[in-house]
Amino acid sequence: MKLSRVRSWNVAARGGRPASLSALAAAATFAFVAGCGSKDGAASGSGGISAHGGSGTTSGAGGDGARAAGGMTGQAGGGGSSGGAGTGAGAGTGTGGTTGGPGSGGISADGGSGAMAGALGTGGSIVVSGGGGNGGVLSCVPGVEQAIITDCGYPSTASALSSTVFNESEVLRAIVPSGSWPNGVVSVYYNDEHALTLGVRSVTVKSAAGTTTTDYPLTALGTVPGSALAPQTGTNVLSGEQSGLDKSLRPMWPSLFITDISTNPMNRSGDWQQGGRPRAPDAVFGTWKGAVRTVDTTVNPPLVTIAPDADPAKNKWNLGSGDPAPAGLASEGFGAEMRWNVALTPGHSYRIQVLVHDGDQNKTGGDSGEACVLFCASSSCSECGTDGTGGSKGSTCPDGLIACGEGGIPPESCPTGTDCANGCCIVPL
């Protein structure tokens, strides 16, 4: 995902005004930590991303901040610490906080009347890697229970799939973590000029012997807006002609990937890029549609095309029985909320990645977006396991395919001509 795409995101915590992803990554979003104190921050530097503070009640009493051309505004909360400045000098104060020091680049943000402006809550500070706002990849603070929205950290050269570009991440208007151990909830808000693709409902295969079509169950949109619990998402086959993947081997259905990061905060082994296994959403609200996958085997290599269905009527941000979208999010006509219930083992911390596809699929490799969030446990976890889930592992490999990633062979050990994707060594079609 290119940084230019990251900057166009909005993310928000429940009850708060949305902010840009990178600014919120610097200030963090805490779904179940209350803080105290206000902040006044100013910073200077070069580069960075501006965003507005929110008026939520997740933590802190809020204060006034000055907009900077670059650098990160001070952040503070009860027992927290302030952010660092950009290339110039910076300062940040708050109850229990400390003064920020100089840094190289960073992210600018405006103060607001609530914790979304950057109050840290009770204890700890947030580590931001990558100067100048490049990356915005965060990690859990030991002993601090919180939910943090973070840049996923791709593209990179870490694996065969990690260089894949997610060219439609801006359709993910917000990702909202909530709940607590053992029952976490991740809600993702989608909006675009075309309706969300819920999956591949039909596969047509052209061969020298003729054409065959196989239909798969996909929950239909009966009304606008609609809602569905445990929605059917079409073919979830992971390889071959009948697969429900795009040409980059990403699931066409909305998918969640989870990694246990209790013993290694930088662990990403459950991510799609590292061979993680996908989980379909537990609920969907708003508008959506299916798609048809066509595989032409009369040419070599086979030609794969994916054609989404026609759009339903526009619903904008009317999500029916879904949760209201965070205030201030842009609308291009078609909105949806996808929700995952995530089993969290007490004392464990988790990294969660969500992937979706938009409704036109007109870019090379498929039009897909990604978003990531961390659920950080409040206590240290010296004996935590690292099975990467805390819940269901999702799809299993079809007969004849080798399991890879967590629970299988290392991704780089997949046989020649295959890639480790969705937990299996898959031959790209």
Written as six digits, the tokens of 366 are 């498929």
Q: Of 120 and 155, which is predicted with more confidence?
A: 155
Q: Is residue 309's pLDDT more than 70? A: yes
pLDDT of residue 157: 86
For residue 230, the tally of other CB atoms under 10 A from its CB is: 11
- Strand 196-207 relative to strand 288-296: parallel, antiparallel, unpaired? parallel
Specify which of 9-13, 61-65, 217-221, 348-352 reaches the highest per-range mean pLDDT.
217-221
How does pLDDT run across 12-27, given as a tens digit for each residue? 433 333 333 333 333 3
Among 102-111, 179-188, 207-216, where is mean pLDDT lowest?
Answer: 102-111
pLDDT of residue 428: 83
Among 239-248, 334-343, 358-367, where is mean pLDDT lowest?
Answer: 358-367
pLDDT of residue 400: 81
Rounded mean pLDDT of the chain? Answer: 71
Written as six digits, the tokens of 324 are 């209201």
Structural contact between residues 288 and 234, judged by C-beta atoms closer than 8 angstroms: no
**Which stretches does DSSP call E strand in 218-349?**
226-229, 255-260, 283-286, 288-296, 303-308, 334-343
pLDDT of residue 277: 94
How does pLDDT run across 246-268, given as a tens digit for each residue? 989 999 999 999 999 999 988 99
How does pLDDT run across 122-149, given as a tens digit for each residue? 222 222 222 222 346 788 888 888 888 8
Among 40-44, 339-343, 415-419, where is mean pLDDT lowest?
Answer: 40-44
Q: How far apart are CA 258 and CA 53, in angstroms?
A: 29
400 CB burial (10 A radius; 0-12, 13-18, 19+): exposed
Confidence of residue 365 (pLDDT cuts 50, 70, 90): low
Q: Of 103 and 423, which is predicted with more confidence?
A: 423
How does pLDDT run across 47-76, given as a tens digit for each residue? 332 333 333 333 333 333 333 333 333 333
Q: Does the reported pTM lie above 0.95? A: no
Across residues 301-328, what is the average pLDDT? 95
Q: Is residue 109's pLDDT more than 90? A: no
For residue 139, the tally of other CB atoms under 10 A from its CB is: 18
Across residues 200-225, what is the average pLDDT? 98
